[in-house]
Amino acid sequence: MSSVWLPCGDYHQDYAEDQGWWQSRVIKGKMILVLAIMFLGIPLVAPDYWLSVATMVGYTAMGALGVQLLIGYTGLLTLGHAAFIAVGAYTSTLLVLQFPWPAFILHWGLAYPISIAVAGIVAGLWSVLFGLPCVKVKGFYLILTTMAAQFITVDFILTQYVSQIGGRGQAFSLPPGTIKVGPWAIENDFEVYYLMAVILALMVIILANLLRSKVGRAWVAIRDNDIAAEALGINIVWYKLLAFFVAGFMAGIAGAFWVSNTAALSPEHFPWFWSLWLVGVILIGGVGSIHGAIFGSIFMVVIMELLQMVAIPLADYYPKLLIDFAFIKDMAFGLAICAFLIYEPNGLAYRWWQVKNYFNLWPFSY
């Protein structure tokens, strides 16, 4: 955010301007436009089906932002992010369903918002627990410990003990009316979309601000070279664990939000596939930029929806296609990751940046 390219002829005249959030009028207008489309345009125009697709984009982006923070900004490779989303989702559901809330909190509709915050903190601490090996190891070894986090959390603890799949079986379904934010009950696609939009906007703003602070600069220094960062006096253990906490916190909130969309919870919503998917999303979008996480989510979710729209009419001629669609989706995802890494390693965000620069300097490209 800080390295915004200004149009020809615009110069900063004091420090306040240089550190300003909106660096030029064009950017300010653009951001207002984006927010207007997000909060007014899409919900008023889009039909219910595309609204739920947009919600899916938002949920993917929430997870991808955490992965982006870990991989793109701190250089901590993670392949187990779905575990922390799952922890957040389960914490929130258990709190809403089983905690003895005082009557006035239920009356004011605060139970679900409080559970979102608690879910974030619990998932953050859980993430720090599995991030502890990052003190000693990095790179591939860290991938393995985060993979262990995924298998231990989702496939073992949540499947066997919390949901008790294959045993007594504990169903987590939220009856209508339990998910209430203040006076509003979150029940249809429209309300879920608004909840998503508010949470996502807050997340992006907070993360972007965090990244241009001292903390964010420390993270980037650790990503570029952690030994050099340590020599510069950055407490790398503290900042790495902080990155794990913040990423886990965001994952927990994403999970707690997801509960409002599904209204029923099962460990199958958080497979290892989903962790890999989130990493794939930031690779396609572009590593090391918030734009990348958002672009990647939009691209992946919309492409998969389009693939499905193509597959449904074709199924008249080839009925097996509908059953096999999940497998085709897997193959398409795998090939997309490979193709992007080989032919477009900088991701979509880099193209966006090129287009933006071209128009900033247009018509004189020097």
Pick from 284, 297, 286: nearest CA to 336: 284
For residue 320, the number of C-alpha atoms closer than 13 Å in the C-beta half-sphere is 2
Residue number, 143 or 315, with CB nearest to other proteins: 143
| Distance separating alpha carbons of residues 366 and 358, to the nearest angstrom | 10
Nearest by Cα to 76 from 156, 20, 132: 132
Instruction: Please give the angle made by the CA atoms of 151, 179 and 276, to the nearest 5 degrees.
Output: 25
C-beta of 105 vs 228, nearer to other proteins: 228
**For other proteins, the closer CB: 203 or 234:** 234
Positions 275 through 304 that interact with other proteins (CB under 8 A): 276, 279-280, 283, 287
Q: Does 93 bind other proteins (CB under 8 A)?
A: no
Q: Return the structure tokens found at 63.
A: 């997870």
Instruction: For residue 180, give the nearest of 120, 229, 110, 244 by alpha carbon.
Output: 110
Q: Is 181 helix (H, G, I), strand (E, B) or coil?
A: strand
Buried b (16+ CB within 10 A) or exposed e, 123-155: bbbbbbebbebbeeebeeebbebbbebbeebbe
Query: Using CB under 8 A as the criterion, what x/- string covers residues 45-84 for binding other proteins?
Result: --------------------------x-----x-x-----
Near other proteins by CB under 8 A, which window of 114-122, 182-190, 255-263, 324-332?
Answer: 324-332
User: Cα separation of 41 and 59, whole Å?
Assistant: 19
Q: Is 263 left (phi over 0), alpha (psi -120 to 50) or beta?
A: left
Q: Which is nearer to other proteins, 136 or 175 (CB)?
A: 136
**305 is a contact residue toward other proteins (CB under 8 A):** no
CA distance 207 to 83: 21
Binding to other proteins by residue 156, rule CB under 8 A? yes
Q: How far is the CB of 213 from other proteins (least distance, A)?
A: 25
DSSP code at position 265: E
Q: Which stretch binds other proteins (CB under 8 A): 57-65, 108-116, 142-150, 200-208?
A: 142-150
From CA 300, how far away is CA 279, in angstroms rounded?
12
Q: Among 334, 355, 356, 361, indicate the residue that binds other proteins (CB under 8 A).
A: 334
Q: Which of helix, strand or coil describes residue 163?
A: coil
Could you identify the residue written with the tokens 């497998």? 327
The footprint of other proteins on residues 219-248 (CB under 8 A) is 225, 227-228, 231
Q: Which residue from 9, 15, 44, 136 is in contact with other proteins, where contact means CB under 8 A?
A: 136
**Residue 330 lies near other proteins (rule: CB under 8 A):** yes
Q: Are 311 and 328 in contact (CB under 8 A)?
A: yes
By beta-carbon proximity to other proteins, the closer residue of 120 and 296 is 296
Question: Out of 5, 99, 141, 359, which residue is the one contacting other proteins (CB under 8 A)?
Answer: 141
- Establish if 104 lies at the interface with other proteins (CB under 8 A): no
Check binding of 324 to other proteins (CB under 8 A). Answer: yes
Structure tokens at 339: 């193709």
By CB under 8 A, residue 163 contacts other proteins: no
168 touches other proteins (CB under 8 A)? no
Among 24, 303, 336, 352, binds other proteins (CB under 8 A): 336
Residue choice 329, 344, 352, 360 for contact with other proteins (CB under 8 A): 329
**Can residue 144 be called a binding residue for other proteins (CB under 8 A)?**
yes
Tell me which residues touch other proteins (CB under 8 A).
Answer: 71, 77, 79, 130, 132-133, 136-137, 139-141, 143-145, 147-149, 151-152, 155-156, 159-161, 166-167, 225, 227-228, 231, 276, 279-280, 283, 287, 324, 326-338, 341-342, 345
